Structure 1
Amino acid sequence: MGRPGKPGDKAARDELRAVMLTRGSSVEEIAEEFRARWQFTSLAAYRYAADLTQMQAASRYNEVMGDDGARVDASLISKLEQWPAARGAKAPTAYNLAVLAVVYGTAPHRLISRTDIDKLPRRDQVVLRATQASPAVSDAPADEAMVVPRTGAVVARPARRSLLSETDERRCQTRPAERVAALLGFTGEHNLDRLVLAVADESRDFAVWTESSELGRTTMDIYRSQLSELSGLFLHQPAAVLFPRLVRLRSTLLAHLYEHQPLRRSRALYALTGMACVVLAHASHVLGHRSSGVTHAQLAQLCAQEADHVELHAWALGTQALLAEAANRPKDALRHLRAAGEELARSRVPGTAAVRLASYEARLAARVGQHEQARAALAAAEHTREQVGGNGEIAELDDIGGILSFPDAKQEFFSAEANLLLGQHESAEQNALAAIASYTDGPPEQSSYGDVALARLDVAAARLATNDLDGMRDALQPVLTLPADLRIEPLRGPMSTLASTLAHHRYRGSHLADNVRAAIESYDLVPREISGS
């Protein structure tokens, strides 16, 4: 009878690993069992869980690095695994752990105990703690079978996923970035984008943790950059896609405000929070939740008051005017616009916010029949536009950009809306076409799919007013074939008006009018072409 093997020897490890794999255990669970049962260090336990020798681990390490000149060998792996207990051992760097995490199929912070992390240099601690919010490998979708890396043996795998499910051949063919994405459970082009966003969020979160005693300049700059990005993306991406990110940013800013930051930082926080709320107000509006939008806009106004931010205060009031107009409350809308104008008069650098208010006033005045006021407001918008940036200064909201600015194209769109209500159909069509051209010919990141669609409806309405049914159909067709996630709520009112006009007796007997009206009435269902002529 042979001697019993050494505790934790290869035979014992192979037997336990096989049993755990058939039960669907993850690489983390196997490594933890090895560590607890045989007192391996975390690094050694994960290598054993992956069924690799030190030489094989070193080879995989060099492969992940993608550097033919890399010289990591088995002795380095051994020294890293013996730290911190053995003399002559070597403390792993965060980079060492990040590469080995790819090799072993886990997250870097799992390869070292919490107590040992504190023994590392601070910069390595910073990186490792930032990875702790990463999606866990064991939470990724399950595979039906599992391949043990070294042997190639296939075992049943009822649930959970780890790097052990990849063959050596695929491991060699996949680029390191893609391996990391797959490791975290993100596969495919769009999911790789999710990974990039998730990792950026982790970096942001750790910057916050680092400066937690008092919110620092770096963290504030990160939040401002995030706000600017989301405000810009709002113009040309579906609001439903961006909404979760907007909510997280707003909620994070609110959490900081609850912590009672110093007054200097508190004002900047209130300003950023208010701007985020304005974007949320617009997002809620286009998603069909106008009352929620009003709540966000009201909070934006309160934040602006706390920050003593004149331009934001006026912008929040302007947003409330927009929502009141959409709710068919013109008196409330005019009241908000007057208050916004009084507030903005205090500003030294009003920027395009002043053009916005004049453009809003023009449309609203035309809507309630105050035609002279509407024409005066249109002229004021033109005059104000000429003054923007005249002194070389850029207003903060314009610097943030996106939905928090009011470009020439948007002014053209509002001029089209006002002229349409004034009965100036030719001018309305010209303004709307100018807005569409400005958006579609300009930089893609500045294009607004919502404004383009609304401007097309203005072109359709102007042409219908002159009985140009063919021209109306041509203008309307791109709107009717929009993907479902781009069909914003503000499109429905103008389309309903078009349908009602087409139902008038003057178009009775027109197959084209009937077809267009039928297409509009089925707008909520699926994108469709207008049939007939």
Structure 2
Amino acid sequence: MSTTGRRLAPQPRSRLEQRVQGAHWTLREFCSAFNKAAGEIGENTQVSERQAKRWLAGASELPRPQARRVLEYWLREPVDRLFGPPSEASPALIAVNTEELLMSAGREAADHALNAATALASAALEALHAEAGRLARAYFTKAPLELLGELVKLRDTVYQQLERTHKPRQRAELFLLAGQTCGLLSSVAFDLGHAEAAEELARAAYTYGDVIDHPSLCGWARALTMSVLLWSGRYHDVVNVATRAIELAPAGTPRARLFAVKSRALAYLGAADEVATNLGACSDELDRAGNDALMDGVGGELSFGHTRRALCAGAAHVALRDGERAEIEAAAAVEAFTAHPVSQRWRAGELAAQVDLSTARVLRGDLAGAEYALKPVLALPAEHRTEALTQRVTGLGRLVTAGSFRGAVEGVRIRDAVTTWASDTLPKATATLELPSASELPGV
């Protein structure tokens, strides 16, 4: 048989190798084309030349799901077939048919262009942004369990929309929305007592921010992680996370929040001078705040102003057991919270300041004042009680039970009230959160 116009190729061992031979790709070209296709559909996976050799030989097991999706998108064949035997329709002697190759290339280019043009209506994105903003602000007033269902629904909707569009700008907006939603879910998960889920969700929010190079989202996500670590007693971890996050966060609100949470961890470590330094740095950042499109623009749980700074300062001085300074800061926080309209007031934050005020007065020996400050907290319905608030109240109970306060009449009443309050507090939510692990997040 004449081989004019043809070239001899080794017998392919798999359909995938048959496709590679037919396209005349080198191993490096195959890997480069695969990695490019992965980027086109937002899959965080690559193939090395060593791995590619095993694929082409047909001797390896099927690759990971991300790689399977890339191969099927790129080569337009089921992965089971690609890793199976070569097609009988293609002989070992491969004829180079220029016209056929050009037509195939044209069809693939047209299909890809059409797929890339798939987009969402601008109104759909506007609606998602509006819903995310509404829920961020609703965090201040809604019960955590009620908010959880709405956030999970929004998260699922965002994920569905990510599958519908391949326009880079729209995907970036959806990644931002996914990060914002995961961050809000992190706050709610922790409020309900799910610290591990809250930490994972905060990492997910950070991952989305990192994918789209959004420093404000990354900074907010790091602050959420720090809060979970703080309440879990991992104070050195908080400081370590904060040190790096502050370097990368934008000036103003994002950096202020990081300084504030860091100051609280330092307080538990007994570093009073560093607490003062970080609270001062927080105030300096707040003086230049107001222009961050995410944290200042969306507001609600994403916001961080002088009121929340006062709350953190009061909590830090409680941790330092400085009753006098703690009372000043906590009283200032209570006053600042009450200056906001009720519909815009973070109720859990306001009552947290009340608990800190009560604790500060106990540290100063003013049990009557402590009992008075605690009254609004004791009246809070169980469904609105959060993990952080519960930890504050039980900490107050332990303080009153200890030492010289044990036999005091006011101390006994506070202890009994705290015990009853804690027993009636909403237990950890039993509803399944159905949270994806960081490795399973769509498009990351």
Equivalent residues of 1:315, 1:340 under 8 A apart: no
**CA distance in 2: counterparts of 1:314 and 1:240, whole angstroms:** 26
2:226 is aligned with 1:297: no
Q: How does 1:88-487 map to 2 (within 5 A)?
A: 213-259=118-164, 261-344=166-249, 347=250, 350-389=251-290, 393-487=291-385
**CA distance in 2: counterparts of 1:424 and 1:376, whole angstroms:** 16
Corresponding position of 1:492: 390
**CA distance in 2: counterparts of 1:413 and 1:312, whole angstroms:** 22
Corresponding position of 2:31: none
Equivalent residues of 2:119, 2:165 under 8 A apart: no
224-233 or 424-433: bigger deviation: 424-433
Q: Classify the secondary structure of the residue corresponding to 1:524.
A: helix
Q: Which residue of 399, 402, 408 maps to 1:510?
A: 408
**CA distance in 2: counterparts of 1:329 and 1:380, whole angstroms:** 22
**CA distance in 1: counterparts of 2:237 and 2:252, whole angstroms:** 25
Q: Classify the secondary structure of the residue corresponding to 1:308.
A: coil
Structure 1 residue 504, shift from structure 2 partner: 2.1
Q: Classify the secondary structure of the residue corresponding to 1:228.
A: helix
**CA distance in 1: counterparts of 2:194 and 2:211, whole angstroms:** 26
**CA distance in 1: counterparts of 2:242 and 2:204, whole angstroms:** 17
Structure 1 residue 427, shift from structure 2 partner: 2.5
Amino acid at match of 1:318: A
CA-atom RMSD, angstroms? 1.7
Structure 1 residue 268, shift from structure 2 partner: 1.1
**CA distance in 2: counterparts of 1:504 and 1:422, whole angstroms:** 17
Equivalent residues of 1:362, 1:373 under 8 A apart: yes
Cα 1:325/1:388, change in 2 over 3 Å? same
**CA distance in 1: counterparts of 2:420 and 2:348, whole angstroms:** 20
Equivalent residues of 1:351, 1:398 under 8 A apart: no
**CA distance in 2: counterparts of 1:214 and 1:509, whole angstroms:** 69
Q: For 1:363-409, what per-residue CA distance to the aligned partner results, in whole angstroms no more than 9, with x for missing partners?
A: 111111222211110111111111124xxx34322101100110221
**CA distance in 2: counterparts of 1:341 and 1:521, whole angstroms:** 39
**CA distance in 2: counterparts of 1:505 and 1:330, whole angstroms:** 26
**CA distance in 2: counterparts of 1:255 and 1:419, whole angstroms:** 46
Structure 1 residue 260, shift from structure 2 partner: 5.0
**CA distance in 1: counterparts of 2:270 and 2:276, whole angstroms:** 11
**CA distance in 1: counterparts of 2:244 and 2:318, whole angstroms:** 26
Equivalent residues of 2:118, 2:165 under 8 A apart: no
Structure 1 residue 526, shift from structure 2 partner: 4.3
**CA distance in 2: counterparts of 1:394 and 1:492, whole angstroms:** 32
Structure 1: runs of 5 or more not aligned: 1-211, 528-533
Structure 2: runs of 5 or more not aligned: 1-116, 426-444
Equivalent residues of 2:190, 2:228 under 8 A apart: yes
**CA distance in 1: counterparts of 2:257 and 2:266, whole angstroms:** 14
2:402 is aligned with 1:501: no
Q: Return the structure number with greater relative CO, CA threshold 8 A, min gap 6.
A: 2
Q: For 1:93-123, what per-residue CA distance to the aligned partner results, in whole angstroms no more than 9, with x for missing partners?
A: xxxxxxxxxxxxxxxxxxxxxxxxxxxxxxx
Structure 1 residue 482, shift from structure 2 partner: 0.9
Q: Classify the secondary structure of the residue corresponding to 2:140.
A: helix
Equivalent residues of 1:274, 1:301 under 8 A apart: yes
**CA distance in 2: counterparts of 1:484 and 1:396, whole angstroms:** 31
Structure 1 residue 232, shift from structure 2 partner: 0.3
Amino acid at match of 2:261: Y
**CA distance in 2: counterparts of 1:409 and 1:338, whole angstroms:** 23
Equivalent residues of 1:232, 1:403 under 8 A apart: yes
Equivalent residues of 2:129, 2:177 under 8 A apart: yes
Equivalent residues of 1:301, 1:316 under 8 A apart: yes
Corresponding position of 2:14: none
**CA distance in 2: counterparts of 1:443 and 1:332, whole angstroms:** 36
**CA distance in 1: counterparts of 2:236 and 2:423, whole angstroms:** 35
Structure 1 residue 426, shift from structure 2 partner: 2.4
**CA distance in 2: counterparts of 1:246 and 1:331, whole angstroms:** 31
Equivalent residues of 1:314, 1:339 under 8 A apart: no
Q: Classify the secondary structure of the residue corresponding to 1:236.
A: coil
Amino acid at match of 1:383: D
How many correspondences in the alignment?
309
Q: For 1:227-248, what per-residue CA distance to the aligned partner results, in whole angstroms no more than 9, with x for missing partners?
A: 1110001011111111111111
Amino acid at match of 2:276: R
Q: For 1:49-79, what per-residue CA distance to the aligned partner results, in whole angstroms no more than 9, with x for missing partners?
A: xxxxxxxxxxxxxxxxxxxxxxxxxxxxxxx
**CA distance in 2: counterparts of 1:501 and 1:462, whole angstroms:** 11
**CA distance in 2: counterparts of 1:495 and 1:468, whole angstroms:** 17
**CA distance in 2: counterparts of 1:477 and 1:368, whole angstroms:** 30
**CA distance in 1: counterparts of 2:236 and 2:319, whole angstroms:** 17
Amino acid at match of 2:387: E
Cα 1:373/1:473, change in 2 over 3 Å? same
333-342 or 463-472: bigger deviation: 333-342
